[in-house]
Structure 1
Amino acid sequence: MDASAEPLHVLQITDPHLMGDPEGRLLGINTRQTLEAVLAHVRVHYGQPDLVLATGDISQDGSDDSYHYFREQTAFFEGPVFWAAGNHDVLPAMERVIRGTRSAERRYRSHGWQLICLDSSVPDQVHGCLGEKELAYLDACLKEYPGDHALVCLHHHPIRIGAEWMNAIGLQDHDALFEVLARHEQVRGLLWGHIHQSLDQETGGWRMLASPSTCVQFLPDSESFAVDTVPPGYRWLALYPDGRIRTGVERIADDDYGLELDSVGY
């Protein structure tokens, strides 16, 4: 087999919603327990990726302890683990923990691909916004390597989804994002978290990918907040030098993690 045709192997872990308290629960679920179960599944069934993308809401309470715990739990990965901020994250605390490590990096190039991580978080807000600075950074990255296929990663969803209640808390400046992307023909897809459910579709010629949380799942196509009973999981991606994306979602065993089915919000 031609080694040059081997794909870049990427793992996405998103929305663990960890807390400083080891017994902390979100909608009845101990989020540390489910993260550990997801990572155990990765060890047994997936192995070592080239890169891990943690696409936000790493912490629920913004505590240093929650970020240190996530860093410790993901230390077995041999490749870098990139962190992106979500609406529940406290950026100063997150940056303190990863300062000087590869987790603070935002761009990865290999196998003919460029992966770019953007910060869509807005302090004290649930919705996302990139703003001029992040959009300029994205534009500069894409201009610098026009020959690389590109995957753009962030926390908030840039398109409308079936869960109507979530559309008000998605990326507010999505039109500006798509204007930048439209200027660069090498963009192959976008990858995000936030919506706590799997999504794989094509929009505007780009692959649109979202992934399950490592804890609570949200019910697709719901008008108002509703949880789903499917178990936590993660997404894997194989990015080929010719621009193809092969991807799938894996889930852990359907055990009783204490989910509160009558939850009306979080």
Structure 2
Amino acid sequence: MSEVQKIRLLQITDLHFGKTPQCLVNHVNPVMTFNAILDDIDRLRWHEDIIILSGDLSGIESYKSYKILNKILKCRDKKIIWLPGNHDNVTDMIKYLKDFPRIISMALQNWSVITLDTSQRNSPVGYIHADELQMLERQLVKMKDKFIIIAMHHCPALVGSRWLDKHRVKNHSDFFKILSNHKNIKGIFTGHVHQKFEGICKDIAVYTTPSSCFQFEPNSQKYEISDTLPGYRWLHLFDDGTLETGVNYVSANLTG
């Protein structure tokens, strides 16, 4: 009997880079913690795997953040799929992540990854604009014979934190209405909430991933920082449609 083959993907989210590599956010140096995560990936010999960077690559909507990130990714020879978050500027991302063009979807053997932009200017609330929804529908039709994962910044499900649940994708009903016509969707992978969450919404698995720098306290009523370590998510995609996923946390020098 032949062995079931698998593809491994990695998800890193909410990098929150500043204007310089020395900038701190909530007393954490996000460049140092991101590099520590890349070190952990290399230690596990996962350095050849594609990394999904799922938004808030900058924490202050600065083009300088993307220049720093582009340099790190190029020097470390990483394969990247990126998408924007509410702290990002898509125009600057395209311009300054110059060695990593925007990829909307990618076919990987029996699987396909589709990315969505859920960001709105000057708002922390997620929203999927009409052109994105139309693109999603086209991609799902095109990829009807593949197993699908969707990557986006904002979560379309409630995670149990009152203040963060207000940031849920506002038109989540439109999103799930499109998905309801497709039975090959294996998971939705998001960021924004700076914590691990796994749940089911409209019969589809939904995952959030910890930030690569700092975390929010789960099940909180208001903004509250957790002492949980930086983290990232791994995904194993098997050619029979099985998906396995988990989170690794990384002990790092947080402040430099």
- Asked if these proteins are the same fold (TM beyond 0.5), I'd say yes
8 Å CA contact retained: 2:21, 2:68: no
In the superposition, the TM-score normalised over structure 1's length comes to 0.90
Structure 1 position 256, deviation (Å): 6.2
Structure 1 position 22, deviation (Å): 2.2
Q: For 2:217 and 2:67, how far apart are their aligned partners in 1?
A: 30
8 Å CA contact retained: 1:8, 1:240: yes
- The aligned residue for residue 83 of structure 2 is 84
My pick for the range that moved more, 63-72 or 10-19, is 63-72
- The aligned residue for residue 136 of structure 1 is 134
In the superposition, the TM-score normalised over structure 2's length comes to 0.94
Tell me the number of residue pairs that the alignment of Structure 1 and Structure 2 aligns: 255
Q: Give secondary structure in 2 for the equivalent of 1:201.
A: strand
Specify the code of the residue in structure 1 equivalent to 2:112: Q
8 Å CA contact retained: 1:190, 1:207: yes
My pick for the range that moved more, 186-195 or 43-52, is 43-52
Cα deviation 1:112-158 (Å, max 9, x = unaligned): 11100001111111111112110110000000121101001100010
Q: For 1:202 and 1:77, how far apart are their aligned partners in 2?
A: 36
Structure 1: 5+ residue stretches without partners: 259-266
2:244 is equivalent to residue 257 of structure 1: no
Q: For 1:41 and 1:80, how far apart are their aligned partners in 2?
A: 16
Q: Give secondary structure in 2 for the equivalent of 1:71.
A: helix
Structure 2: 5+ residue stretches without partners: none
8 Å CA contact retained: 2:215, 2:225: yes
Q: For 1:196 and 1:46, how far apart are their aligned partners in 2?
A: 26
Q: Give secondary structure in 2 for the equivalent of 1:161.
A: coil
RMSD: 1.7
8 Å CA contact retained: 1:55, 1:154: yes
2:182 is equivalent to residue 184 of structure 1: yes
2:147 is equivalent to residue 162 of structure 1: no
Q: For 1:48 and 1:6, how far apart are their aligned partners in 2?
A: 18
- The aligned residue for residue 202 of structure 2 is 204
- The aligned residue for residue 143 of structure 2 is 145
8 Å CA contact retained: 2:13, 2:209: yes
8 Å CA contact retained: 1:111, 1:240: no
Specify the code of the residue in structure 2 equivalent to 1:136: Q
8 Å CA contact retained: 1:195, 1:218: yes
Specify the code of the residue in structure 2 equivalent to 1:33: M
Specify the code of the residue in structure 2 equivalent to 1:168: K
Q: For 1:111 and 1:219, how far apart are their aligned partners in 2?
A: 38
- The aligned residue for residue 73 of structure 2 is 74
Distance 1:98 1:256, change over 3 A: closer
- Percent pairwise identity: 27
Structure 1 position 23, deviation (Å): 1.9
Distance 1:123 1:138, change over 3 A: same
- The aligned residue for residue 50 of structure 2 is 51
2:19 is equivalent to residue 14 of structure 1: no
Specify the code of the residue in structure 2 equivalent to 1:235: R
- The aligned residue for residue 230 of structure 2 is 232
Q: Give secondary structure in 1 for the equivalent of 2:68.
A: helix
Structure 1 position 168, deviation (Å): 1.1
Cα deviation 1:219-246 (Å, max 9, x = unaligned): 1001111111110010000011111111
- The aligned residue for residue 25 of structure 2 is 26
Specify the code of the residue in structure 2 equivalent to 1:122: Q
8 Å CA contact retained: 1:16, 1:59: yes
- The aligned residue for residue 262 of structure 1 is none
- The aligned residue for residue 263 of structure 1 is none
